Every structure is written in structure tokens, then in C-alpha cells.
Amino acid sequence: MSDGTSCLIPSSPTPSSPSRRIRIVTFNICGIRNVLQFHPWNVCRTWATMFDMLDADIVCFQETKLQRKDIEESMAIVPGFEAFFSFSRYKKGYSGVAVYTRDSVCRPFKAEEGITGCLESFDLGSNGRKLSYRESESNIGGYDYVINPSDGQEIDSEGRTLVLDFRKFVLICVYCPANSTGDRSHYRETFLTTLSNRIRQLVEIEMREVILVGDINIIRDRIDTADPGECVKDGDNLDFKATFARQLLDTLLVPHPSGILVDVCRLLFPAREGMYTCWNQKINARPGNYGSRLDYLLCTKALSNICSAANILPELLGSDHCPVYADLQFPIDWANKFMADPEDTPRLAARYFPEFSGRRSILEMFKASGPRISVASTVPLQVEQAPGADKMDKPDRNVENLTSTKVIHKRKLVPSSNGTSKRSNQQKKLTAFFKQPPSHSSSTAIKEGGDEFASDTEESSFFSEEISRVSRAIEESGYAGSTSVTVST
């Protein structure tokens, strides 16, 4: 791992046949600006290091609490990863989800913001109007067209969902609304119903494999909370399963007769108690593990058959939630089927944001084309000869150990005989600018190539005299901000 860090998650069991592992991690970080301040992420405080420590290929964040205008380059441009964001449209510091995908393992072919498909995509119609995702020809599918566009935009206005298509499966990262105050029950039920219908359309109608990850904000069973009695009281019903949200989740999950998704953590740990992912920080409930399980990794039955590992990571801090992960072992011949070409990366990716598009890394800047600059032992600055370039005229005097040079065709200001500056059509050596006026016999050579060289002793003495004279001239003139200094000889 980078920066000398080690993976925090045990390796999956080695499969019997060759396979490609994809590790998915979901984490409600309760504010993207704060999570890197906590152990163990504060060791290096970079997102790439965090993802490497998790050994994750797909990282799904909920509750980023970030607005579009506040996103920083370090969040949007993570080396080796593509980033996708959904922001709350109206409320500041509220909700928000993000997904990071490792370039070397998987890159989505399509990406959408929202669950209804009613938000604007990056595709234009024939009249120049931006199309919604469900109107676009490159949509992911599974939409509930009964929802009118205005209602759909309202459902998706809080930045709660990202949908990514990897061809072999569709990933849905979601932050479902809670109902802690009791006044958002209608919005919550509408959102959960829309989410359930979209998943069923994808699985049952379009025959897609689906992975649903995130903070579902539903306690599935009594075993998933330290205080089931409190949950019953909040629902005003003695039956734990009687709430709308739990009934809807139950019908979506196996072993319900109409279930289409599998809870992979419960699949591997069916009777494990205390497998909580969220704790009340106001009462410091985490040390005593007095919490609830609200964060899930759910997938279709076929994908659950290739799940080699899944678990919670309660020892990792940074939020009132903890990360949850799952490892899926895909056939090795599928390795390249999760990889869209870089130029086909969905336009929702953060690297296409106007403030970040066209940015180059420092390494890429140093790889820019052009002549390479090197330091020679006998000349202060030389430019290496480019292959196939014309050779310069040889100097009149033989100078040992000079590297071959290439003319840089850039016009510079040089001193003229009348004391004014003019541009030269031919490049001259640096020493030519500070030489004493040439004699009549050597003027032709200087005019043609500027390649007259003085001896080392003459150069050193003349440079010192000229520098001293120019310094005195500047001090006497009292002008220190000039863009050019004319040196008369």
C-alpha cells in the first residue's frame, strides 16, 4: 500500500478457480471535510491513502454534507480513482453522496444522479434542451415513468442517490431519509417506494444484476439493534415489523417470497449479535456497542453466490457510523468487462467539472514535449541537440568539452549601437551580449552567428565588470521595476 500503510481488512479466502476480486466499501462519513482527521486516516490525510488502507476498489460515501461550490480539488481529483458526486440542491451542509472507483479495476460506463431519472443529464435534445437521464438514449433504465418530472426532481433534490452502470452489474449508492422528527414520513415513504420500484424494474424487467449499498436508515430485525423496545415505541406499534419501512425492506430481501436482494453480512453471519454500524455519539454509545445496524450491502442472488467476504469495521473511526465491506469474486475472463475506456468515462465524473477539467498532474507537466535543459560543466546553460536538428556553425576558436547546442528560435532584445533595444532575428550566445565592441575583422562573424568566444579569464573579468556597471546604473537611475535594461557599450 502507498505511504507504507497496510490494509485494514483481512484478505478474502482464495477461490478455487481464477477470479478477479472487487471490494466494495460503504461508509456514512458524516461530513467529508472531517473524516480524515480521525485515526487511522490522519496518518497521511489523503483519500488515496484511505482507499488503499481499505484495499477498496469501489468506495461509497453517504452524508458528505457538501455543496457543489465547496468541493475541493483533493476530493474531486484523487490519483488512480474516478469520483462521482451528488449534492443537495437547496439545503446547505446536508445529505450528499459520493462514489470513487479504482481506475485499474473498474470504471463505469454510465452514471446518473438521482433515483428517478428526472434530473438533467449531459445530453442535449434536437432543440438544444438538456434531456433528463430517462429521456437520454444512453440511460441506465429501470425508471418508473408514472412519476412526473417535477415530482421526480423534488425526490432527487437532496442529493441522496448515485447510480453507476458497470455492465455486469448496476451499483446504487443511497442515503435514505430518516424520520427522526416524525414530520418527513411522506417524503421518506415516497423515496423508499421509488427506490424499491427502480430496483425491481432493473432486476425483474431488464434482467440486470444490482448492488444496493449505503445508509438505508432502517433497522431490519430485532437482532440489528441494542434496544428493540425503543424501536417499537417509536413506531407506535407493538409489532416490530409493522412499520412501513421495515415491511418494504422485508419484501425486497430474501427469504421473502418476492425478495430479490440478499443481505450479504447476514448471509455470512446469520445469528451474530452486536453487528451494529451506527451509535449515538451524544450519549457516547460506541464504546459499549449500544447501537443499531443501518448500513447495508445488498445484492441480487447471483452476485451473493460469488461473495467471498463481508463484514463491518467498527474499529475504524471518523463518523458515528462505521464502514461495511463486501468482496465479490468475478470470473477472471470478466476482468476487462468492468472497464470503460478513459475517454468514455461518464460526464458526471468530477474531473469534468469546469474548475478541474484540463488539470494536469505535476508529473504530466514535466513530461511536456520540447528540448530538454541540461547543465554542462563548461557552459552555464546549454540545450541538448535535438535529433535531426541542423548543426550550428563551429566557433572560430576551439573550445574543449563543449556540448553540441541547438538554436532556440526565439527573438530577444539585444543592445544596438544607438543605445536602444531591438529584436534580433538570430539567437546569440549569452556571452555575446556582454562582449566588448568587436573589431572590424570579427564583426562579420558575430553578425552571422554570434559565436565569437573569449577565453575563460577574459569572460570572467568582463562579466564582473559588466555586472558591476549595470548595478551602478540601476542604482543611479533609481528605477527598480523596469521590464528591460538597455546596456550601452
Q: Which residues of 296-315 are buried (b: 16+ CB within 10 A; e: fewer)?
A: bbbbbeebbebbbbbbbebe
What residues form DSSP beta bridges with 295? 215
**Catalytic one of 100, 133, 175, 296:** 175
The active-site residue out of 52, 57, 215, 295 is: 215
Q: Rounded to 5 degrees, what angle do the CA atoms 182, 186, 190 make? A: 135
Is 250 in contact with 336 (CB distance < 8 Å)? no
CB atoms within 10 A of CB 231: 16
The answer to whether 177 and 160 are in contact (CB under 8 A) is yes
Closest CA to 59 of 112, 5, 97, 9: 97
Q: Are 254 and 270 spatial neighbours (Cβ–Cβ below 8 Å)?
A: no
Single-letter code of the amino acid located at 99: V
- Give the residue among 85, 87, 98, 89 at the shortest CA–CA distance from 28: 98
Is residue 352 part of the annotated active site? The answer reads no
CB atoms within 10 A of CB 176: 21
Q: Annotated catalytic, 215?
A: yes
Give me 443's grid cell: 564583426
Q: Angle of helix 185-200 relative to helix 244-252, nearest 10 degrees?
A: 10
Neighbours of 356 (CB within 10 A): 16
Catalytic sites, residue numbers: 175, 215
